[in-house]
Amino acid sequence: MQSFSDPGELHIDTIEGHADGHAPDGAPSGTTAPSATTGPPGRSGRRPPAADSLPVVAGAAVAMAGVGAALALADIGSPLRAPFTLFFLLTAPACGIAAALRGLDPLSRAVVAGGGAVAVDLLTAQTMLALHSWSVRGGVAAVGAVSLLLFLLAHGWRHRGRSTGSRTS
């Protein structure tokens, strides 16, 4: 058992990171060599590589959805218009719905948000067809507006009770 009150009493049986068990050159006997791990054994101090690339993937997805919406709204003929617009039509409502479902675990939230995104798209198309106002540009704009409304409502609902100052009239 180690005593943390006196650092001079620290005894280490083996030296991590060296196969021969000797201290590194210039280091006093009984010290450990610097290693890449910090914290409990088996855990590294760095985040896993997948966690480092998550913001990059999210940024690429936002850019791809934005390009899809811009291509559809500007009525630009491009081979990338259909897949990017479809990506926008699926991810925009899914992100709005997922923002409202913060209490669920990630897999459940993704499944419910994906199903909700399809429902928002179908209900928007059905409403526009019933009103005889269907167009591709109008559909993309309507889905974007509904998605933004869902996201802002979820954000406002979450921050509703956080005001600290009292309101007097």
pLDDT per residue of the chain (169 residues) written in tens, 0 to 9 = 544 454 454 444 444 444 455 555 555 555 555 544 454 555 556 666 767 788 898 899 999 999 999 999 998 999 999 999 999 999 999 999 999 998 899 999 999 999 999 999 999 999 999 999 999 999 999 999 999 999 999 888 877 766 655 555 5
Residue 22's pLDDT is what?
Answer: 52
Query: How many whole angstroms separate alpha carbon 69 and alpha carbon 95?
Result: 15
Query: How many whole angstroms separate alpha carbon 30 and alpha carbon 96?
Result: 57
CB-based contact 38:45 (threshold 8 Å): yes
Q: Residue 129 falls within a domain, yes or no?
A: yes
Q: Residue 22 falls within a domain, yes or no?
A: no
Q: Residue 30 falls within a domain, yes or no?
A: no
Residue 60's pLDDT is what?
Answer: 92
Q: Residue 55 falls within a domain, yes or no?
A: yes
Query: How many whole angstroms separate alpha carbon 81 and alpha carbon 141?
Result: 15
- Domain total for the chain? 1
Range(s) of the domain holding residue 149: 49-158
Query: How many whole angstroms separate alpha carbon 43 and alpha carbon 151?
Result: 37
Q: Residue 12 falls within a domain, yes or no?
A: no
